[in-house]
Amino acid sequence: MAEIVIPQNRSRTMGGVKRDHQGKEKAADNRIAKDIPRNAYTSIFESFRDELDEHHDRRMKIGKVSRDVTALSKKIIFSLQRYLFFSLSLSLSLPLPPPPPLSLSLYATIDT
């Protein structure tokens, strides 16, 4: 009867075992990571990359502020329409109700 082979407890990130074309288990990958070659143009491209990242961040912030302004303006318009609809639905002989509590201080601050 064949012996049962219990695999050794190895630190693997995935559950599978890497094998070559003959079915033998491959040795651990011992390749040394190569350094990125640096030349006169590398620093230029790195500074260009940083500049593009800053530009992208600014565009994202502008988009966020734009969405915030749109949402706040919709809230203000909705509260004004609700007040006008309520006041028009009443008889004109009755006094108008007080305006809704609209705190503009909440809408005035937009984080950038």
Asked if 37 and 30 touch (Cβ cutoff 8 Å), the reply is no
Which residue type does 74 have? K
| 1 class by beta-carbon count within 10 Å (0-12 exposed, 13-18 middle, 19+ buried) | exposed
* Residue 101 included in any domain: no
pLDDT 10s per residue in the chain (112 long)? 556 655 565 555 556 777 887 878 877 665 666 677 788 888 889 999 999 999 999 999 999 999 999 999 999 888 888 777 766 666 555 566 666 666 666 556 666 5
* pLDDT of res. 93: 57
* pLDDT of res. 79: 84
* Residue 96 included in any domain: no
Query: What CA–CA distance (Å, rounded) separates 51 from 55?
Result: 6
Number of domains forming the structure of the chain:
1
* Residue 65 included in any domain: yes
Q: What is the extent of the structural domain holding 60?
A: 43-90
* Residue 57 included in any domain: yes
* pLDDT of res. 13: 58
* Residue 79 included in any domain: yes
